[in-house]
């Protein structure tokens, strides 16, 4: 799912985040069109799923993945923006604030349908592996802040920095807007739509009930796998009860084939959405390619000549 953008309080790299952005019990039920009695082939009929979900399925690729910025794309854009911001600040004679520590992001779909790894459940419960309390952000002086983020009166900032700030000025050279590059709105919207549509699909509702009943038999009462972490993952480390809950959670997912079913159903919805919004997605892809081309030009121009 999408992640909230950070407030612009430092270098552009402080704002770019990986979005990484980011949720049929049997093979026979997975090959049907949806609820019994649904109009086959009708405009509102649930899409047909042709795959057979396995018990040990993990969240894998989804059809929309190719429309998102890849990790390599993010790296290229972030590097270009960092160069532009650094050059802007240097011209203004304002030192850059220290760069923040970079935290590795989990795979895009790692927890789309809740936790899925028995090993991580046993070691970390619902906590993210290796994730600790966030470090205190590097200090940013008022002068640096004005140079980076702009001035409210529209006048040049410290050292003659652009009125809109070095961050927005850098963004304009890559995106043509004051905003940093992100996944296209239509891509993010369809990503959320497919999740909600699949969650409300009869095949997924059935397997969610099976999962909930399995958990109840283990002594845990949850309506769905996304409810459990909300009450448990706030502390610095997992408690014994959290680990016990997480282990039962993953075991019940495997017994009911929840992840395989949900992923297969959502893939079918994404395929349909991609066809329905093909023109918008094509336009978003062209815009993405243009931004990556501009970023590549920035990086080439900054590379030392051989």
d(CA 58, CA 106): 14
pLDDT of residue 3: 38
d(CA 21, CA 37): 36
3-state secondary structure at position 152: coil
Six-digit token pair at 261? Answer: 């079913």
Indicate the burial class of 135 (C-beta count within 10 angstroms; 0-12, 13-18, 19 or more). exposed
**112 beta partners:** 114
Mean pLDDT split into 10-residue runs, the chain, 306 residues: 39 38 33 37 72 74 95 94 96 90 76 92 87 70 94 92 96 92 95 97 97 96 86 78 95 95 96 97 97 96 72
pLDDT of residue 291: 96
CA distances from 117 to 102, 112, 113, 264 (A): 24, 13, 12, 18
pLDDT of residue 183: 94
pLDDT of residue 233: 67
| Helix 185-199 × helix 278-302 angle, to 10° | 130
pLDDT of residue 89: 96
pLDDT of residue 128: 83
The DSSP secondary-structure symbol of 114 reads B
For the chain, the structural domain boundaries read 12-23+27-36+50-109+117-130+141-298
**CB of 31 within 8 A of CB of 203?**
no
**CB of 52 within 8 A of CB of 30?**
yes
d(CA 99, CA 106): 21
pLDDT of residue 51: 73
pLDDT of residue 135: 65
């Amino acid at each position: 799912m999408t992640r909230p953008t950070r407030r612009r309080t430092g270098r552009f790299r402080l704002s770019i985040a990986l979005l990484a952005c980011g949720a049929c019990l049997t093979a026979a039920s997975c090959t049907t069109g949806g609820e019994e009695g649904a109009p086959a082939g009708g405009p509102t009929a649930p899409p047909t799923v042709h795959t057979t979900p396995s018990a040990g399925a993990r969240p894998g690729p989804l059809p929309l993945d190719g429309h998102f910025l890849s990790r390599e794309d993010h790296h290229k854009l972030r590097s270009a923006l960092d160069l532009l911001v650094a050059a802007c600040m240097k011209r203004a004679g304002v030192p850059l604030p220290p760069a923040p520590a970079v935290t590795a992001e989990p795979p895009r779909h790692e927890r789309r349908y809740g936790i899925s790894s028995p090993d991580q459940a046993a070691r970390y419960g619902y906590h993210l592996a290796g994730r600790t309390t966030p470090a205190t952000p590097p200090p940013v002086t008022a002068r640096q802040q004005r140079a980076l983020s702009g001035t409210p009166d529209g006048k040049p900032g410290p050292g003659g920095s652009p009125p809109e700030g070095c961050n927005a000025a850098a963004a304009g050279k890559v995106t043509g807007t004051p905003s940093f590059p992100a996944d296209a709105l239509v891509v993010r919207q369809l990503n959320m739509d497919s999740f909600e549509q699949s969650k409300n699909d009869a095949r997924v509702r059935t397997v969610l009930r099976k999962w909930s009943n399995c958990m109840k038999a283990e002594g845990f009462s949850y309506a769905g796998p996304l409810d459990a972490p909300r009450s448990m993952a706030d502390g610095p480390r997992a408690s014994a009860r959290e680990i016990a809950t997480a282990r039962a959670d993953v075991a019940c997912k495997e017994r009911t084939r929840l992840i395989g079913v949900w992923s297969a159903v959502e893939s079918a919805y994404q395929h349909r959405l991609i066809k329905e919004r093909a023109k918008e997605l094509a336009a978003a892809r062209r815009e993405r390619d243009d931004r990556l081309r501009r970023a590549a030009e920035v990086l080439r121009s900054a590379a030392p000549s051989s």
